[in-house]
Structures are given as structure tokens and as C-alpha cells.
Amino acid sequence: MENKHTQNQELSLKQQVKKTVGVDVQTCYQCGKCTAGCPLNEEMDLMPNQILRMLQAEYPGYENEILTSTSIWLCLACDTCYSRCPQEVKLPQIMDFLRQESIRRNLVNPKSKNILRFHRAFLAEVERNGKLNELGLTIDYKLHSLNLFQDLQNAPSMLFKGKLGLIPHRVQNPSEIKKLFKKING
């Protein structure tokens, strides 16, 4: 499912970020605005500016620490950090790359697995129908996360208010989307 982003293990994570995302993390001078403005800083195990500093160091031990952090999965891509960064470091795009690299190296933090499960359930639903159906997504996620009863109390009123469709929306030819996924995933 995920990108085979870069196969070159000999590159440091910092070099991979440069090559894949096109961002030179060396430009960060640690003003800390990214962390100060991050809506999730209270929840994170590594602060956004710390991740940048650790990338700069190119120390192998730090690479594992970054890729097993929960921070990379909590990032909501709200873009506050990037908007306020005096050096315009595209931290949200770096986070996307780090998530993909964390999967590739099999280092996803167990605490973050439900977030990953949700993303995968989402894409599986899109791959099936070309459109997202909230009911299909919810069922798929519940089965994979085993949170079977979560949100169950909301389902009847969502149905009643016409917010939860029982008949899935689809593109005209779902196999076209399946083919697209297949081509991209190789």
C-alpha cells in the first residue's frame, strides 16, 4: 500500500528528507515557533523543533527515536508551524515522509497503530468505491482496531438525520480506481 519512498538506506534520514521532500532541515535555527504554535504539543513525545534538531545531528540512534515517536502520527498537518516558520521549513511534508519511512522500517509506535489503521481503512474504502462512505470506513476501522462499540450510540441518530448513507456512493467504474491504486503501489 505505502510508497517505496526511497530504498537507499545508506542515506541519513536528513539526506532522505532533502532528496524526497526537497527540504534542507539545516536551515532551521531552532526558534521554536513550530512547537509553540503546535495544537498537539501537549500530546507529543518529541516536540516538532526537537525532531528538526535531531534530524540535523544525523545520529543513527536519533533516527530510530524519531521514527518510533508518536509525534509523527499525531501531526494533523494543520500547517500552523509552516505558516509561522521564519525559514519556511515544510514540517508537515517532512512529517508525511517520516510516517512513510516509519512504516517502511517497521518502526511504527504501538500507541499510534490505531491512527495508521484508520488511514488504511480510509484508503481501502476509497480503493473499493472511488468515494469515501462513512459507514464502510467505520465498519472497516472497527474490525481492524477492535473498537467495536465506540461511537455506536451515534449511529441511529446519524441515520435518522440522514447523515449516514446505507447505499454506498461509487464512481461510475470502480475498477478504474482499483487500477490506479495498483499502478501507484506497484
Which residue is it, cell 474504502?
A: 125
* 108 touches 72 (CB < 8 A): no
Output 31 or 78, the one with its CB closest to another protein.
Answer: 78
- In angstroms, the CA 176 to CA 61 distance is 43
Select from 87, 95, 88 the least CA-distant residue to 55.
95
Binding segment (CB under 8 A) for another protein, from list 10-18, 28-36, 53-61, 80-88: 80-88
* Residue 184 found at the interface with another protein (CB under 8 A): yes
Q: Which residues contact 104 (CB under 8 A, 6 or more apart)?
A: 2, 4, 5
Q: Which residues contact 72 (CB under 8 A, 6 or more apart)?
A: 51, 66, 95, 98, 99, 102, 112
Q: Is 33 left (phi over 0), alpha (psi -120 to 50) or beta?
A: alpha
- In angstroms, the CA 115 to CA 84 distance is 26
Answer for which of 154, 155, 156, 159 binds another protein (CB under 8 A) is: 154
Binding segment (CB under 8 A) for another protein, from list 8-16, 27-35, 49-57, 125-133: 125-133
Answer for which of 151, 155, 159, 175 binds another protein (CB under 8 A) is: 151
In whole angstroms, how close is the CB of 17 to another protein at the nearest point? 13
In whole angstroms, how close is the CB of 42 to another protein at the nearest point? 8
Answer for which of 36, 58, 177, 178 binds another protein (CB under 8 A) is: 177
Q: Under the rule (CB under 8 A), what is the footprint of another protein? A: 1-3, 5, 39-40, 43, 74, 76-80, 82-83, 96-97, 99-100, 103, 114-115, 117-120, 122-123, 126, 130-134, 138, 141, 145, 150-151, 154, 157-158, 161-165, 169, 171-172, 177, 180-181, 183-185
